[in-house]
Amino acid sequence: MSKEINILILSAGTRNKVVQAFKKELYGTGRVIAADCSPLGPAIYDADAAYIVPPIREEGYIDRILEICRKERISGVFSLIDPELSLLAAERERFEEIGVVPVVSSYELCEISLNKLRMNEFLKGSAFGAAVCWTDPEEFLGAAGRGEASFPVFVKPVCGSASLNISRVETEEELRVLFARHEGLMIQELLTGQEYGADVYIDLISGKCTHIFLKKKLRMRAGETDKSVSVLNPELFGLLSDFAQKAGFRGMIDVDLFEQDGRWILSEVNPRFGGGYPHAYACGVNFPAALIRNLQGLENPAQIGNYRENVYMMKYNEICIREASELYE
């Protein structure tokens, strides 16, 4: 008989579909516990139980999460937001000491993924190209003057997530204003090719890439894929699998790419569930089942590209209604 598997989802926020997927896969064999720093995070109300916890940067946060893990007999824990990934990875030993698997890549990989300049450097030597970047506006303007670069460009924080504070910049004046107002910015060449997203699972036990779902992005909203269509590309499957395994990622990762002038440019890697993962799950690319199997001590067989192409995802808004007395405290 398989052991009970209980999952703790941190910073659940509005990711109801992820909570629902784990509940479906664990039905009768385990429970889904959700945590968030706000009682107004709707995803927590889809879980079997939920906890309101301090903000992730507050002293004692990890102690509180470990307390929940003990109480709920948690098997595996993961977060849905980028800033918490390094925190979990740094505290890996404390979780493992109480029998909990932190489902996250190494601390170094989490830090590289969060820092766009470090990821850009990390990609050198891989099969993927990287966008040209500058941290000094004068260097960019000099390159533009020599005909080696041109407007428009993207200006974005070196460290950031959810596409926050990203600006398309058309002129030198706009560029100087942004750099005068904000610190920690970088300039990136404007990528005009078709954007794709890949949901990738790397087995926690074998370290092999077992699942890849590839989608063509049709529309973005608030940094997440709003509309997309599934595609199959065996060559890209091979490149993604090789990259993920050699880099040493583990568990679920979300990859953004551009097809630009006949080459693949990797834009970002987020070592967590991506906002567009529900598209993959609806097509049968089952990361929750793969993770549960790993937590039972079993390796996953490779199922790369095992889905139909030309299946569309169209997001729409839902609402969660609760009386004040029904909110978690």
Domains in the chain, please, with CATH?
Answer: 7-104 (3.40.50.20), 110-126+192-314 (3.30.470.20), 133-189 (3.30.1490.20)
Pinpoint the alpha helices (H) of the chain. 16-26, 61-72, 82-90, 92-97, 107-114, 116-122, 137-145, 172-181, 234-247, 277-282, 287-295
Q: Whose CA is closest to 191, among 130, 125, 123?
A: 130
pLDDT at res. 34: 98
**Contact yes or no for 197/213 (Cβ under 8 A):** no
Q: Which residues pair with 32 in a beta bridge?
A: 7
pLDDT at res. 2: 65
**Contact yes or no for 89/102 (Cβ under 8 A):** yes
Helix, strand or coil for residue 29?
coil
Q: Whose CA is closest to 155, among 192, 116, 187?
A: 187
Q: What does the alpha-carbon distance between residue 127 and residue 130 come to, in Å, rounded to a whole number? A: 10
pLDDT at res. 162: 54
Q: What does the alpha-carbon distance between residue 208 and residue 220 come to, in Å, rounded to a whole number? A: 30
Cis, bond preceding 301 (omega within 30 deg of 0)? no
Tokens, residue 277: 């993962």
pLDDT at res. 133: 93
pTM for the whole structure: 0.94
pLDDT beneath 70, residues of the chain: 1-2, 161-165, 222
Report the amino acid identity of residue 81. Answer: I
Q: What does the alpha-carbon distance between residue 259 and residue 202 come to, in Å, rounded to a whole number? A: 23
Q: What does the alpha-carbon distance between residue 188 and residue 191 come to, in Å, rounded to a whole number? A: 9
pLDDT at res. 165: 66
pLDDT at res. 1: 43
Residue found under tokens 């970088």: 186
- Strand duo 224-231 + 185-189: pairing: unpaired
Q: What does the alpha-carbon distance between residue 10 and residue 257 come to, in Å, rounded to a whole number? A: 27
Q: Whose CA is closest to 15, among 150, 162, 133?
A: 162
Give the alpha-carbon dihedral of 139, 140, 142, 148, to 10 degrees.
Answer: 130
Tokens, residue 122: 């990390």
**Contact yes or no for 64/96 (Cβ under 8 A):** no
Report the amino acid identity of residue 31. Answer: R
pLDDT at res. 125: 77
pLDDT at res. 163: 57
